[in-house]
Chains A and B, each alone.
Chain A
Amino acid sequence: SQTIHQWPATLVQPVGSPLSLECTVEGTSNPNLYWYRQAAGRGLQLLFYSVGIGQISSEVPQNLSASRPQDRQFILSSKKLLLSDSGFYLCAWAPGRATDTQYFGPGTRLTVL
């Protein structure tokens, strides 16, 4: 069966520090991968998605970036965090077609102080 992992689970970082959040999927190959952010009391905002290694689509211009160095690994990064980057970050995967169900990881709670 497929599983999706995210780490760390929680993170507290000072403003201006770098960020690296990792997401990995097991039990499938060539998944579509997604990064979402959920601000307090808000819905899900799609940040990035990837349909293959090295293929990244950005939905929201900001100081975040994403990379997919391996088929089942998706990384969310920032060189300098802002206060507004605080939130709950969710990674998701889908088998491949547009209409496939997306399956979510456990999330990372990021607090920028």
Chain B
Amino acid sequence: AQTVTQSQPEMSVQEAETVTLSCTYDTSESNYYLFWYKQPPSRQMILVIRQEAYKQQNATENRFSVNFQKAAKSFSLKISDSQLGDTAMYFCAFTRVASGTYKYIFGTGTRLKVLA
């Protein structure tokens, strides 16, 4: 069975600094997708970034980038130039590429606080 682990329940970072959130996963699949979602205080879940396992190039979206280490089964999120609006819960998620698969597996989340 696949699992997703986020070992940092809470983190804080100064505004304009860089922070990295960790995510590890366990799977025997070779092809899958990984996601980072953000849940601000409004509770609306928002997709931050998405990575396809067969692509070696790390995904980036503006200030957000990932460090995808397939062999180590690690998928960390780096937030550069942190802003107060980045304060949120961040969830890592996994889904495998297989016929009949429709589910995501989520980690327990990391609460990030950006300090002014």
For chain B, give the interface size range: 20 to 34
- Which B residue sits closest to A99, measured CB to CB? B33
> Which one, B13-21, B64-72, B73-81, B101-109, is touching chain A?
B101-109
For chain A, give the interface size range: 20 to 34
User: Interface centre among A59, A94, A98, by most B CB within 10 Å?
Assistant: A98
Cβ–Cβ < 8 Å partners of A99 in chain B: 32-33, 52, 95, 97
Asked whether B113 is an interface residue with its Cβ less than 8 Å from the other chain, the reply is no
| In contact, A98 and B108 (Cβ under 8 angstroms) | no
Give the residues from 31 to 90 in chain A that come closer than 8 angstroms, CB to CB, to chain B.
32, 42-44, 46, 49, 51, 59, 88, 90
Q: How far is the CB of B4 from chain A (nearest CB, A)?
A: 9
| In contact, B47 and A98 (Cβ under 8 angstroms) | no
Give the secondary structure class of A's interface: strand
Asked whether B45 is an interface residue with its Cβ less than 8 Å from the other chain, the reply is yes
Bound-state Cα–Cα, A101 to B48, Å = 11
Asked whether B35 is an interface residue with its Cβ less than 8 Å from the other chain, the reply is yes
Give the residues from 36 to 57 in chain B that come closer than 8 angstroms, CB to CB, to chain A.
37, 42-47, 50, 52
Seen from chain B, the residues whose Cβ lies within 8 Å of a Cβ on chain A are 32-33, 35, 37, 42-47, 50, 52, 91, 95-98, 100-104, 106-109
List 19 additional A-B contacts (Cβ < 8 Å) besides A98-B97, A101-B47, A104-B37.
Answer: A32-B102, A42-B108, A43-B106, A43-B108, A46-B104, A59-B103, A88-B43, A92-B45, A98-B101, A98-B102, A102-B47, A102-B104, A103-B47, A104-B44, A106-B43, A106-B44, A107-B43, A107-B44, A109-B43
